């Protein structure tokens, strides 16, 4: 079995091992291929039975150019970079890694919120630059210090990651509400389900933990922002396309939205003219919520198991059955 990894560096920059995949077949690993449509993608996997990807796109055209391809294994939970419907038509299975990052992504979401509330990084820099030792007062702060106790957090998407975030928020003694198209008993233990409009109206902080579907694309837009409380905080480490970025930038600059903590943007890597880069009170990190070594090791282990299950004739974690 010929296995080709197209963009392996972000999964394994050198602190993990590809040994598990090597045991399954003839393995070729490319650190990087392309994050846009490119003939190089098909050239590298045209003879492969298994293509392993993270964010390298696999389009209809690429699939048509790769007659031996039987499996597309995604080193992530999201698989929107793959034309998975067309893959199904061609008898190609698409596998993902659904549960590797539940805890770390929830942790990171709350971490973005805590940075907004206390600006640890900024104040650390000012101390090291010598300001505290010269200050006339025994302490200072350059931003409002925000206490989260008693505030209302609204979570859009109360699946595994949304629930992990909710557990942390409950420990902070916050009021947690949620909107999800599919309500669950587990969700009810952690949050009160409300309508989307009620969530916008009641939340002091809004977390986006929903998948990117046509129904959720652009869910944060000027019309829905208008329904929110003045001074709301927005956290997104799900998918950048959930937000109409110019609308959010306008709301940040006007003060309607107090701050945003973002680990994702609509086009990644970020474009030079992204309006959120210069918007007020915005933290942007480079899509690293998932990147703790422990989480990446789980991705590796589950991907090996996924491909082994295909080889054994009983594929698991198939998203395009």
Mean pLDDT of 152-164: 97
Q: Which of 119, 229, 287, 296 is catalytic?
A: 287
- As a whole number, mean pLDDT of residues 231-256 equals 98
Q: In this structure, are strands 2-5 and 50-53 parallel, antiparallel, or unpaired? A: parallel
> Residue 54: CB partners within 8 Å, gap ≥ 6?
6, 7, 8, 10, 11, 74, 75, 76
Residue reference for tokens 């003219």: 273
Taking the C-alpha atoms of residue 280 and residue 236, their distance in angstroms, rounded to an integer, is 16
Residues 7-34: what's their mean pLDDT?
97
The domain made up of 102-284 has a fold known as: Rossmann fold (3.40.50)
Q: Which among 19, 89, 186, 268 is annotated as catalytic?
A: 268
pTM of the predicted model over 0.85: yes
Catalytic-residue membership of 239: yes
Percent of the chain with pLDDT strictly greater than 90: 96
Which residues lie below 8 Å from residue 204, measured CB to CB, with a gap of 6+?
A: 151, 152, 153, 229, 231, 232, 233
**pLDDT greater than 90 at residue 35:** no
Q: How is the chain split into domains, by residue range?
A: 2-100+293-311, 102-284
Beta strands in 54-150 (DSSP E): 71-74, 93-95
Average pLDDT of 38-57? 96
Of the residues 44, 119, 229, 239, only one is catalytic, namely 239
Longest dimension (CA), the chain: 72
268 is annotated as an active-site residue: yes
For the segment 190-195, the average pLDDT, to the nearest whole number, is 98
Q: Clarify whether 131 is annotated catalytic.
A: no
pLDDT in tens, 115-156: 999 999 999 999 999 999 999 999 999 999 999 999 999 999
What pLDDT is attached to residue 275? 98
Q: Residue 269: what pLDDT?
A: 93
> What is the residue-averaged pLDDT of the chain?
97
Question: How high is the pLDDT of residue 37?
Answer: 85
What pLDDT, on a 0 to 100 scale, did the predictor assign at position 85? Answer: 97
How far apart CA 176 and CA 40 sit, in angstroms, is 47
- Same topology, domains 2-100+293-311 and 102-284? Answer is yes
Rounded mean pLDDT, 177-201: 98
Range 2-100+293-311 has CATH code 3.40.50.720 = yes
Distance from C-alpha of 320 to C-alpha of 84, rounded to nearest angstrom: 6
Quote the pLDDT of residue 80: 87
DSSP-derived secondary structure letter, 73 = E
pLDDT in tens, 261-313: 999 999 999 999 999 999 999 999 999 999 999 999 999 999 999 999 999 99
* pLDDT over 90 at 78, yes or no: no
Is omega for the bond preceding 268 within 30 degrees of 0, making it cis? no
pLDDT value at position 234? 99
């Amino acid at each position: 079995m010929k296995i080709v990894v197209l963009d392996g560096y972000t999964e394994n920059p050198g602190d993990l091992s590809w040994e598990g995949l090597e045991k399954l077949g003839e393995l070729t690993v490319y650190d990087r291929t392309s994050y846009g449509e490119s003939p190089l993608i098909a050239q590298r996997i045209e003879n492969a039975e298994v293509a392993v990807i993270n964010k390298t796109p696999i389009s209809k055209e690429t699939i048509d150019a790769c007659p031996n391809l039987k499996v597309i294994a995604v080193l992530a939970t999201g698989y929107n970079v793959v034309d998975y419907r067309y893959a199904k038509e061609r008898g190609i299975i698409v596998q993902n890694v659904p549960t590797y990052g539940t805890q770390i992504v929830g942790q990171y979401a709350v971490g973005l919120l805590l940075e907004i509330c206390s600006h640890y990084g900024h104040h650390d820099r000012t101390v090291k630059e010598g300001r505290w030792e010269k200050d006339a007062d025994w302490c200072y702060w350059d931003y409002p210090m925000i206490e989260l106790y008693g505030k209302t957090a609204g979570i859009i998407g109360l699946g595994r990651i949304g629930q992990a975030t909710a557990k942390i928020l409950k420990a902070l003694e916050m009021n947690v509400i949620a909107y999800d198209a599919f309500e669950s008993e587990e969700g009810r233990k952690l949050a009160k389900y409300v309508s989307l409009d009620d969530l916008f109206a009641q939340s002091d902080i809004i977390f986006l933990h929903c998948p990117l579907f046509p129904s959720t694309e652009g869910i944060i837009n000027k019309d829905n922002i208008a329904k929110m409380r003045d001074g709301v905080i927005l956290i997104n480490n799900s998918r950048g396309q959930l937000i109409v970025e110019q609308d959010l930038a306008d709301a940040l600059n006007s003060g309607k939205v107090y701050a945003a903590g973002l680990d994702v943007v609509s086009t990644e890597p970020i474009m030079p003219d992204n309006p959120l880069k210069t918007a007020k009170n915005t933290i942007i990190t480079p899509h690293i919520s998932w990147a703790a070594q422990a989480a990446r090791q789980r991705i590796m282990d589950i991907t090996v198991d996924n491909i082994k299950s295909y080889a054994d004739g009983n594929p698991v974690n198939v998203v395009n059955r």
